[in-house]
Structure 1
């Protein structure tokens, strides 16, 4: 999470949607950068409004605009899979050895799958009942996000390409992808509304 005090702007770091690159590029411009632990770095809109926004608003004398990125849902799950494969060497609590992307996607699509895999849903990060992040940009349209930030921050920005997991086979056949998309309907609907 990055807080830009003068601009009354807060960047919420959606997991697996380029947040590490954004934070790396903008940390020096931010009034505050919360990057550890992960629970704080990736504070969702509900926790932001419950805990941090009332304090920020009281201190600043006005509300802050929230901004975040959202990745195309199936591509987002592919990114999680690649991350967990890479992270498997460091954290043996979520063994991925021998798990194909098709199996991972099937596990995600089961009832309770997002929670069991400990990755949740983007919709739950970006929305809270009737509230949602003020400005959500598609990860796939990064230039629009950069243009918004440049306008708000008053400077030109360059984003590094970091924290990129290795390429692996993330193919699904048509039936598998259809089942996954149905299970991800809420995320897909939010993505299409952006």
Structure 2
């Protein structure tokens, strides 16, 4: 999470949606940069609106624009799957080594989810339980448009580094698993389709 005090702007770091690259490029411009631990770095919109947002607005006596990015849901799961395949994965229970993407997606669609597939949901991250959500939500696939928005808002040129990139890996799904995913992630797909 990055807070830009003068611009009255907050960037919420959706996991596996370019947040590390954006933080690397923008951290020096931010008044507040929360990078660790992951539970704080990836503060959900619900937690932000309930705890952090009211404090910022009381202290500044102004409203903040809250922005975030969202990745196409299947691609987002593919990034998680490949990320957890790394040899340096510290927790073997979260490793996807030796597991196919099809099995990973089926596990993500199950309830309860095994640890290796328990990566949350973008819809749950980006939608509040009640009240206001993010003000502007951008497609990860149009990161250039998001960077343009940030450049206008922050008044500077931004160059993104390539960091925290998931290793390559096959992300094929059977038609049956694809159908299961469309059903299990219906809220994520609907939110993504609604983006401009």
Relative to the length of structure 2, the TM-score reads 0.93
Determine the C-alpha separation between the residues in 2 that align with 1:14 and 1:97: 24
Determine the C-alpha separation between the residues in 1 that align with 2:126 and 2:18: 15
TM-superposed deviation, 1:97: 3.4
Contact preservation (8 Å) 2:94, 2:115: no
Aligned counterpart, 2:151: 150
Does residue 93 of structure 1 match 2:93? Answer: yes
TM-superposed deviation, 1:182: 1.5
Determine the C-alpha separation between the residues in 1 that align with 2:49 and 2:164: 28
TM-superposed deviation, 1:88: 5.8
Aligned counterpart, 2:194: 193
* Structure 1, 83-92 or 54-63: larger mean CA deviation: 83-92
Determine the C-alpha separation between the residues in 2 that align with 1:163 and 1:177: 27
**Cα deviation code 1:77-126 (max 9, x no counterpart):** 00010111116632223243321111000111123438883311101111
Contact preservation (8 Å) 2:57, 2:64: yes
Number of aligned positions between the proteins: 194
Aligned counterpart, 2:74: 74
CA RMSD for the aligned pairs? Answer: 1.6
Determine the C-alpha separation between the residues in 2 that align with 1:38 and 1:59: 25
For residues 46-125 of structure 1, what are the structure 2 equivalents within 5 Å? 46-86=46-86, 89-113=89-113, 117-125=117-125
Contact preservation (8 Å) 2:105, 2:117: no
Determine the C-alpha separation between the residues in 2 that align with 1:191 and 1:180: 14
Aligned counterpart, 2:173: 172
* Structure 1, 91-100 or 30-39: larger mean CA deviation: 91-100
Contact preservation (8 Å) 2:182, 2:189: yes
Determine the C-alpha separation between the residues in 1 that align with 2:75 and 2:23: 21
Return 5+ residue gaps in structure 1 as ranges. none
TM-superposed deviation, 1:178: 1.8
* Structure 1, 22-31 or 84-93: larger mean CA deviation: 84-93
